A and B are shown apart, each in its own frame.
Chain A
């Protein structure tokens, strides 16, 4: 595999590394919603790579190498020696259609030599868990699926996804990688610690929690954040995600962060469904533990990647906008931690997302995460 790295900013336009000797099969790009809107960047990329699949999305910050940037658009063009690439995209009509949508594109991708799937999805109206459940239902639990939900900075208004076309809202793109020499590895960790008593989700409706231990969840968050910070909810609520523990599936430990607040009703809306009756515990982190968590994700991914790789290696980092919000200027620390684990020979690109997709080490079952760093590694072995 060979990688060509490019980035764009308003002052210089596109700049990039060495041109590839052969035409790439796949181009990935990430940018802010404002940067991608209008489709001009896509059209420019298309002119560079007329024969390639071009897939990208809006984000809550782009990761390129060691840096985070909001006003830079980053892209990688990948040329595979033997791996085949197929790209599909779907429009999602409603949140309820998430599962069906997942099943639909999984069916288009399914093939005996399918070796991995990377998903970029609309980030606000999709039910990420259902989307993944639909994919897994068709492709089986053993096929590795990673990816992330597109972001919109801290505005949460609209997210864009484009697959061989201009980026648009309400779209889901999936890339299928085929062939025996394709190498796909991943890592997934948070660095959050639970604290305080376990609480019971006494009343919930889908992703909306109405009562925790019989109390409106807004009251609990206000107590913990203090009046001043509580006024900045839901953003400030990202400091205290919930760990969800379902008695029926004790292995499964999911982290959910606050997405929306209804102060009149006293309810909080989380990034995915929180079943009534399950146990929830507040989580917190400091800068160091978050960075250490990211490092752990990098270590997992690096260890999972087979040794017999030839050519370039790409790491796609998908981390949570919530982490960036909590870490502020220290966000760089988590990128440094991943870089230290991956080593110098890996090209790193990625974005801050509204939800991360990867199987956690504990269950191996693909899930939607919040407040998590996920690392997906793409490479090729000798044919």
Chain B
């Protein structure tokens, strides 16, 4: 009996054992109904489930077909040749657009054909061998950087190609998939990049990094072989002027010509260009000192000979510093530093020279660095002072002062400006110093009872970096000095370089009411053209002409010429370095407007000139 029926009978039987038939029938009938309902539900669920699974299957197929289209369009459009072949007989079954270009035939002609039907016999044989190799071993083939064997893209193309095997569901070889990538451009540019990394673009000589690498190799070798060798540090003298005068295109040609001469004269030594106009030479091992010297002198002579490029003539010179391994250093850093200090000495001794390194130089160079280091603290520790030198009309009436910076070094005493200003320009400290001088000068001038003018020098570096216009404006606001009382003195160095930017800055300063004076006039190259480009308020004739007035007749002529030129342009002239009454008289007779020099007064602290600026000395002292 069914377990359920037994239970139903039990449930329908009372305590006396009497079966309640009505109750039993109810239970049995309900059980049938439950079973029917369950069966219906099951049938329905199975039917629906089949429908749903069919729909899902259909959707999956659609998704798959979309994915296939998507992949097809990628394969079709990538710029790399892609093909697929039947693994059994190498018959082509897929080819993309780049593949058509590569083989030089439309896919209709290629698909369904074997290599023998498509390519010359020798090539077909190679292709088949490769295909069999991949199919038999199951290992992908990768050929890197080989020349094209077939196709129409020309035989000068370099390609990477690979083939790999795709197996079917049973693990049997089914397809060979191949890609062919044209890497010609990449390989050539890689070679070019590598060359560029080690060569100077202008002269094609090895660059700094190649030099360092070679030097290290030489050091290693010399150590093992107990050899000695010379390191030459070379610097072209006055090359900057070539660029300034003729412009960079000509300067570049000159640089190439100079480099060629160096290489020609260097007897096969290693020549590198390591910076703007700096070169290094590594001499072969164990060359005698006098031979090194004579080679260096030949180089100086070769460069010193007139360079003629495209009808441009130029005189550049060469200075050479020499350090010798192992006497002047056993490591790269020391050798280079010592060759540099020898070069520095050569340049200081008048250029066009050759200097061997001596311990003395080392000290000088270090001293220079020390000074540069001290300079950083000078500003913070109030070691800088502003001195004032009076400027006057020819009759003697004081019209103003030039502010001049001095450095009162705690141990060295007063350091002259021509020693520390170049240092400050080298490390950019001049921006801070220049601003400080300007502020001090303006503050001081603003406190004077007499509204005399004050002249302040601006360095080219200040023009190139920072926001000079804003800082001048700010200082004028801070100090309350009328802009018309301020005069800035610039040298033509300001206008060399970014001429347009410097000019527009000068114009804006002038628009503020500030006067602009051209300093050191007559010592540079192109002063005349600069006079044309900008309406200077004043010209300052360089002291060197005034100093020689009495000694050389040419100086007098030059001064006369400058004065007449300036007058023709309606620009007043200040003569610098006027020390004697004779000089003054000459200048006055030539109608020079103003003068400055020991005859009027030396640069001094302002206290020295209290009376000139209208301060009652007694009152100020005790006020």
Contact = CB atoms under 8 A, between A and B. Distances in A.
Given A226-B40, A329-B31, A329-B34, 12 more contacts: A195-B45, A195-B49, A196-B45, A196-B53, A224-B41, A284-B45, A287-B38, A328-B34, A329-B7, A329-B8, A329-B27, A330-B4
A329 B52 contact: no
B49 to A, nearest CB: 4
Nearest to B59: A197
B42 A284 contact: yes
A225 interface: yes
Contacts of A330: 4, 34
B56 interface: yes
Interface of B: 3-4, 7-8, 27, 30-31, 34, 37-38, 40-42, 44-45, 48-49, 52-53, 56
- Looking at chain B's contact residues, the main secondary structure is helix
A297 B107 CA distance: 66
Contacts of B53: 196-197
Interface residues of A, number: 20
Interface of A: 195-197, 223-226, 229, 239-240, 282, 284, 286-287, 328-330, 332-333, 336
A225 B45 CA distance: 8
- Looking at chain A's contact residues, the main secondary structure is helix
Contacts of B34: 328-330
A286 B7 contact: no
8 contacts: A195-B45, A224-B44, A224-B48, A229-B37, A328-B34, A329-B31, A330-B4, A333-B3
Nearest to B50: A196
Contact of A239 (B8, B30, B41, B48): B41
A224 B45 contact: yes
Contact of A196 (B7, B31, B42, B48): B48
A225 B40 CA distance: 9
Given A197-B52, A224-B48, A329-B8, A286 B42 contact: yes
Contacts of B49: 195-197
A229 B44 CA distance: 12
Nearest to B55: A197
Given A195-B49, A287-B38, A329-B27, A226 B44 contact: yes
Contacts of B41: 224-226, 229, 239, 284
A271 B41 CA distance: 23
A229 B41 CA distance: 9
A223 to B, nearest CB: 6
Contacts of A336: 3
A329 B40 contact: no
A329 B44 contact: no
B505 to A, nearest CB: 64
A328 B3 CA distance: 14
Given A328-B30, A329-B31, A332-B7, A196 B44 contact: no
A54 to B, nearest CB: 31
Contacts of A286: 38, 42
Contacts of A195: 45, 49
Contacts of A329: 4, 7-8, 27, 30-31, 34
A197 B56 contact: yes
A286 B44 CA distance: 14
Contacts of B48: 196, 223-224
B58 to A, nearest CB: 12
A286 B41 CA distance: 10
A232 to B, nearest CB: 11
A238 B150 CA distance: 71
Most chain B CB neighbours (cut-off 10 Å) among A240, A284, A333 = A284
A225 B42 CA distance: 10
A42 B502 CA distance: 103
Given A195-B45, A224-B45, A286-B42, A328 B52 contact: no
A236 to B, nearest CB: 9
A330 B32 CA distance: 11
The 4 A-B pairs with the shortest beta carbon distances in the complex, nearest first, are A328-B34, A196-B49, A197-B56, A329-B31
B60 to A, nearest CB: 10
Nearest to B31: A329
